[in-house]
Amino acid sequence: MTVLTNARVVLPDGVRHGELRIEAGRIAAPSPVTEDVLDLAGRYVIPGFVDIHVHGGAGASYQSGRGEEARRAAEFHLAAGTTTTIASLVTGSPGELADAVAGLADLAADGVLAGIHLEGPYLARERCGAHNPTLLRPPDAAEFRRLVALGRGHLRMITLAPELPGALDLVREAADAGVIAAVGHTEAPGATARAAFDAGARVATHLFNAMRPLHHREGGPIAAALNDPRVIVELIADGVHVESGVVRLAFEAAGAGRVALITDAMAAAGMGDGDYRLGGMEVQVRDGRATLAGGSSIAGSTITMADAFRRAVTEVGLPIEQAAEAAALTPARALGIDSRVGSLEPGKDADLLVLDDDLAVARVMKGGRWR
């Protein structure tokens, strides 16, 4: 039994002053048993972050599917508080994606990753962002089935543009296969986005970015997602992708229960300025901002979930419990694993973070073990 005393425990409905008990790797109910006691001197305890959209970090990318490189990225984000990670892949050739999915499935089976996210290759050319436009292609059910098989149950999400031929059928097939369909990198009008949500899509990939913008006469995918209570919207709260006032507006419209903070981090996270690659695209990072070399398209971020969480509180102005919900419980809910992770409730995995006074991550616990 480990007991964290004198803590400010952040729960979805507020902050509770007192203690948190951990036993056998899980959050435990109150008990008179006392063994290993740690006095937190009033520090916050929050659930470990759940990042459902991240491409890499510490100079490593998930795109190769190589175990050593992927482990380095996952360990970097774990040290920064992400206790549950979904590895995201950008658009690649059929062979490249097949190799990456097969390799990452091994790490998911080992518990290093919580699954795999395909961001592409079925995206709109007009909204391709940092994806290689020459590799974009229409939805291919046969290719998707091969990737599902190679994922061995660990392919968890696929982002696609619903206006492409065959996209709505693929949304239905994904739902039947237990893979979350996400609407993103799209030029779809609102009616098409709504049709995708009716077909089973349940996530909007990095809302506002790489999609038809909101307009008062055509709300597009943004209005469709914000107005649909079935849909969880991703937000990159890095101060680059979405301005803080717009982040606040999205929370007002959807609530913390439907906003999932993500990093969309690429290999440069934790590395500083320099030249990198995202998939097959050259990326330059200057002053922490990642863009395609020679262009202005944003190419992922360089933040951690700890950065996104702290910015949500200090710059967006969210109450700490709402920021914690958006960084942990809501993304866990998107994945359907919220019965196990995402909040500090008895019976859930003891994945938690202790914060310093400035809300920086001081200690990380995963499965009841300090990391």
The Cα–Cα gap between 127 and 88 comes to 18
Asked whether residue 210 is marked as a ligand-binding residue, the answer is yes
Q: Say whether 299 counts as a known binding-site residue.
A: yes
DSSP 8-state code for residue 341: S
Give which of 171, 130, 56 is closest to 282, Cα–Cα: 130
Q: Write down how long the chain is.
A: 371
Residue 298 assigned to a binding site: yes
Do residues 255 and 231 make contact, with C-beta atoms less than 8 angstroms apart?
A: no
- The pairing of strands 14-23 and 26-28 is antiparallel
Look up residue 16 and give its amino acid: R
Q: Is 119 annotated as a binding residue?
A: yes
Is 111 among the annotated ligand-binding positions? no
117 is in an annotated binding site: no
Tell me if 206 is assigned to a ligand binding site: yes
Q: Is 338 a catalytic residue?
A: no
Q: What is the CA radius of gyration of the chain?
A: 20
Q: Rounded CA gap, 167 and 218, in Å?
A: 21
Q: Is 217 one of the annotated binding-site residues? A: yes
Q: Is 158 annotated as a binding residue?
A: no
Q: Which residue has the tokens 């999205």?
A: 250
User: Which of the following is catalytic: 51, 238, 264, 338?
Assistant: 264
In degrees and rounded to multiples of 5, residue 305 shows phi and psi of: -65, -30
d(CA 249, CA 214): 13
Question: Which 8-state DSSP code applies to residue 122?
Answer: S
Buried b / exposed e along 261-292 (16+ C-beta atoms within 10 A) = bbbbbbbbbbbeeeebbbbebebbbeebbbbb
- Kindly list the catalytic residues: 264
- Which residues fall in the annotated binding site for Zn(2+)? 119, 185, 206
- Which residues fall in the annotated binding site for substrate? 130, 209-210, 217, 241, 298-300
